Structure 1
């Protein structure tokens, strides 16, 4: 008996010793105001931030409020064992979690098990998505980012440790109806298949502040050219030069705005895999064609994927710099290598960007597993297939953006994959999925993931569906019809063509507002489209406790926010957008605390309550917070050019004094990085029932694109 006790005691000592040597103490360093970096083990040389290659926007970070470390450091646990890193972060009982990438069906992430893995979205929020950003934020006002280019397993408040500080209550399933198969968990745990990793922790004090710090660490959000916020039409796959010219002419003749046209695979001589050379039968004179379209104020964007055809001019030179496996019989350039980049991106520049192409659509850099390179693939750089999968979309964005940056010419394009570190890249994510409701949920979640998302319009079964999709698309980062397969036009459904034109014109009228909001994304890190949970006055729902019950009769507002709010969102500083879906005649809208007004009429809508609205077919419900200031411009067919003076109508809503920071620069170059920009302050207040408005003068030596300014009182006494 004594020997048994002796061996048991020694075994316990061994286990304790083994645990101790594997445990890692984390030293935290404040690398930017309110941002701390911790290092565990030996992080890999190739990670997300290195792949993105961005630098923090220090000036923006210096303007953030001071804050201390937002978590109990001693409760952040880490260990490295068997070449893997195990992490645990504390989680309070009433905390809700958001983020972990671009999710399409859920906003609340507490209680989820995820594998963060770049992939095409397949209809389930399981971590496999176009931007599986390993960044999450808490309703308690902090954020966590794991800087690893690996597939990361996440247990977001699901796993229960034996020695938990706050263990769940043990219940008898036989007799206790409150028994749950998902007992309370007080931690977020992660497994990274690497022998070390960098961790970043972001302070608030608010959840939005933590997101802002994350975006600013990644260089600040992207600032598109003004024309990028206009309207875009993507052509059918095999359209030729005349077809593009005819399309642009039809838009002009019918009075629909248009700023850039997307050419799909047929511009190339062959695709899947790609040759990256113009098809001479469809585009016999590419330079003349591109330049002619530019003279008509229409820019062109080219589709491509990175898989190189054996018939491509660069095939032989890039073959030794490619991975071991092909995609659609095309080789995969190892663009993490400078030599491969010089050849590959040089080909995207030669006779494309060189002759005036304004941007790219980067397709199929996400998944799926049955056609993309497998995880057993090898690449000449030594980066393995998993790392390449997690970063290929990032690198495609980075290196095309650099070409345009070197030319001092802004671009705005589309991409199928991104990841942590990609906030500043001028690209919008899209996919082949097409559920309208889930598209809006993705737009809500994009603000947590450091990416932009477009709920693009492709086709519809009815005019009603077409209009409803178009309405929400207008209130998104990129207003776009993707007619790759359908050939649809804005006027394809004659019964709603007038309403569609009205919405397209509204997009153009609101350009001063959209452009200013994207400037705030860049300079301040504030996502232009974001969840209601980031809005002051919107009560964040606590994570459900084990015994929580809600009395609907007593508090319908509490019930509304206890459920995920994933079908309405904030657009910029002042607007709340609540899309309507085909088949709906009415919907509920949850208004944050404070007075809110109808965007179209200025009429009072409510204050911290759930309202039911019946907007009719013509309108998407939009509401403006009290004191809201919305700068508008006249309807135009194309975005304003650099130096073009534009008259403004400043719309004012509500009763409170209103302010707005109107951004101005040349709209096309990167000269704003040299200080060639300004924020002009707009102030509006009511005096004896009438509004009095003013805008600060243009700064001498700065761009000044503002013409006459008029103020419009939207809310009557």
Structure 2
């Protein structure tokens, strides 16, 4: 949200009051408290009729500084995210020139007097800071000439509420500094120059909206910033004040965390320690998920024909997913199999399990009016209400649908009871769709601020479902396929990229979204192979198949057409076979990376800048990625098979052909459908599995180590089997096997 009219003026209808000086600084119990008047105080008379901002600095965990800017502290604040808090930790002290707070490698230093200057330093070097006209309190007249950032299905009365007061902060951007993150954004990976609203919306992958909005950004200068507000946060990333990142929230209080590096991995590790680390997901979930697709006609015979044909063609499937129409139309969700199509669900699930498959079913948090559950839920107060006490309903998606109120523990328990019945029947996991179309003109059972709950709802919804799976299946066997999220959502994997179209540009924007999400703390991610809307041509399908099976999780899914490979051409069958078998061989490597993610928060799919932060050529790369630390993947986004990509310095080995090339430069290659740029990092040692027919096998049985050129010394490689056995190998990199 932009408040200014160029450098000198504010927009009509805006009154801006900025912190002008640190009038006094107090240091007590590892906390700094600063009184910041909105004018320079030159005499006693200047202290009268003068608003002040109270700025409080503390540290919840080592290496993280919390900054709280408040105008009226007595006004209600709707609270932040659930974060780790061991504090206050670190040490606060007064200095000759003001005050300082030190925590781990990070120091916040406030300069006494005017002008306002709050500096964040590592090893004595300022990495960013809040200077003049940065920390501000802004009032808007009713006709203020600002864009309130109203997005998110606004035609359905579901936009961001208009507010009259805001707190904003601006942190410095250095020369050449790049900003990443802010959730699953489908535009450029580098966020400089963008205006971004943290407000979840069902907008597809080709818009400025996002299913997963995360008010966290990561800087190339070795720090991160989390705005601790689950509600509407508006970011101007060098787009209003081009030398700064501005973030603003409605109300009287703004709280944010500055998170130390020095490397991007260090920042993500500290950030996920603060907001939560992902659990280990089951090995079987890394295999291929096959779907009915959305609006296609299907029954058990259709499903069985797909599964049997995939097996006949040696295309291993791990999970079969039933999309929406496993339930009767107009009834979503009643959690009942449509008896007209699936008259024997218990028997069908048993038959699918006999084929060694897991079963996933689609759900959402809405209860349609036609569903028998609607009246029961409404009567017991389990649905979100309007201010007049009536049930909130609309007709978008499902006619007359209500929304389950997960702030009501009884409602959450009731919803979970429906899921437990499905688990008892034989369902193994759930696709938690939607969770973004959350209204603000409602009253929540626990009194939550509706604006706060709009983004946070996804967390409550996914948590309710994930907890049921953990209870029923165990910690290591619980997995979702979720669409919506915000900060902390990484603790309930897996998430997929939402509704893309079946084109090469949409394939590329899908990857950008996944890489942006990775730099927002999410370790696991998937997408609809082939795109969701429309039907891809055979070329798009085959190229997307290679990309999808070199993602952490892989699913064939679409809207109006089946996505089994023989529907496209016979070559698509062969491409699917090549890359499913490849992923199965890579499972000792991928599964171990998932375990490491649970310990460190570092994602499986990594933007190049995460692995090579000191190589300036990697800063803007968003058409390639690292899969774990040792494999470079550059998907092909062209009908011709031409692809340009960058290889960092060193000797890189193509995993499929064995060709060794020298990096430190851009390359252009042409690949057939059964190949793509897939390079092992110089000196990489890949644990290579013996089976290509399933993801959950004994990785130690028949394991071999593939050692690639370009390394020296000994590499230590750990392999963990799905049943928990661990072996560590010391491998001499001089014994190159390739």
Q: TM-score, normalised by structure 2?
A: 0.77
Q: Where does residue 94 of structure 2 map in the other structure?
A: none
Shift of 1:677: 6.0
Question: Which one of the candidate residues 668, 679, 686 is aligned to 1:623?
Answer: 679
Is the 8 Å Cα contact of residues 57 and 65 (structure 2) preserved in structure 1?
Answer: no
Is the 8 Å Cα contact of residues 150 and 390 (structure 1) preserved in structure 2?
Answer: yes
Question: Which one of the candidate residues 703, 720, 729 is aligned to 1:648?
Answer: 703
Q: Where does residue 480 of structure 2 map in the other structure?
A: 413
**Structure 1 residues 377 and 35, CA gap change in structure 2 (3 angstroms):** same
Question: Which one of the candidate residues 28, 43, 52 is aligned to 2:58?
Answer: 28
Is the 8 Å Cα contact of residues 334 and 379 (structure 1) preserved in structure 2?
Answer: yes
Question: Which one of the candidate residues 298, 309, 318 is aligned to 2:357?
Answer: 298
Tell me whether 1:447 sits opposite 2:541 in the alignment.
Answer: no
Question: Which one of the candidate residues 179, 200, 209 is aligned to 1:97?
Answer: 179
Q: Where does residue 392 of structure 1 map in the other structure?
A: 457
- Structure 1: how far apart are the matches of 2:570 and 2:560? 20
Q: Report the count of equivalent residues.
A: 612
**Comparing 187-196 with 17-26, which one deviates more in the overlay?**
17-26
- Structure 2: how far apart are the matches of 1:373 and 1:444? 26
Question: Which one of the candidate residues 576, 599, 603 is aligned to 2:632?
Answer: 576
Q: Which has the higher contact order (CA 8 A, sep 6+)?
A: 1
Shift of 1:24: 2.5
Q: Where does residue 264 of structure 2 map in the other structure?
A: 207
SS in 1 for 2:489: coil
- What is the CA deviation profile of residues 557-582 of structure 1, one whole-angstrom value per residue up to 9, with x for unaligned ones? x6xx57x3210111101011111123
Question: Which one of the candidate residues 447, 451, 457 is aligned to 2:529?
Answer: 457
Is the 8 Å Cα contact of residues 631 and 651 (structure 1) preserved in structure 2?
Answer: yes
Q: Return 5+ residue gaps in structure 1 as ranges.
A: 1-8, 59-64, 161-184, 367-371, 541-557, 668-675, 692-712
Q: Where does residue 371 of structure 2 map in the other structure?
A: 312
Q: Where does residue 614 of structure 1 map in the other structure?
A: 670
**Structure 1 residues 655 and 11, CA gap change in structure 2 (3 angstroms):** closer
SS in 1 for 2:485: coil
Shift of 1:666: 3.6
SS in 2 for 1:610: strand
- Structure 2: how far apart are the matches of 1:157 and 1:296? 55
Shift of 1:679: 6.1
Shift of 1:425: 1.0
- What is the CA deviation profile of residues 410-466 of structure 1, one whole-angstrom value per residue up to 9, with x for unaligned ones? 222322211101112122123112211111212221211223432322465432221
Q: Where does residue 219 of structure 2 map in the other structure?
A: 138
- What is the CA deviation profile of residues 644-685 of structure 1, one whole-angstrom value per residue up to 9, with x for unaligned ones? 863212211113135254341545xxxxxxxx6646244232
Q: Where does residue 349 of structure 1 map in the other structure?
A: 420
Tell me whether 1:321 sits opposite 2:392 in the alignment.
Answer: no
Shift of 1:239: 2.3
Tell me whether 1:529 sits opposite 2:585 in the alignment.
Answer: no
- What is the CA deviation profile of residues 105-153 of structure 1, one whole-angstrom value per residue up to 9, with x for unaligned ones? 2111122222111012356664x30111000011100000012121111
Tell me whether 1:487 sits opposite 2:543 in the alignment.
Answer: no
Is the 8 Å Cα contact of residues 424 and 522 (structure 1) preserved in structure 2?
Answer: no
Q: TM-score, normalised by structure 1?
A: 0.79
Q: Where does residue 87 of structure 1 map in the other structure?
A: 169
SS in 1 for 2:81: helix
SS in 2 for 1:383: coil
Tell me whether 1:501 sits opposite 2:556 in the alignment.
Answer: no
- Structure 2: how far apart are the matches of 1:56 and 1:260? 38
Q: Where does residue 429 of structure 1 map in the other structure?
A: 496
Tell me whether 1:363 sits opposite 2:430 in the alignment.
Answer: no
- Structure 1: how far apart are the matches of 2:191 and 2:271? 18
- Structure 1: how far apart are the matches of 2:109 and 2:715? 35
Q: Where does residue 274 of structure 2 map in the other structure?
A: 217
Question: Which one of the candidate residues 335, 339, 344 is aligned to 1:280?
Answer: 339
Question: Which one of the candidate residues 107, 119, 131 is aligned to 2:201?
Answer: 119
Q: Where does residue 700 of structure 1 map in the other structure?
A: none
SS in 2 for 1:277: coil
Q: Where does residue 29 of structure 2 map in the other structure?
A: none
Is the 8 Å Cα contact of residues 530 and 557 (structure 2) preserved in structure 1?
Answer: yes
Q: Return 5+ residue gaps in structure 2 as ranges.
A: 1-38, 88-102, 111-117, 120-128, 140-164, 387-391
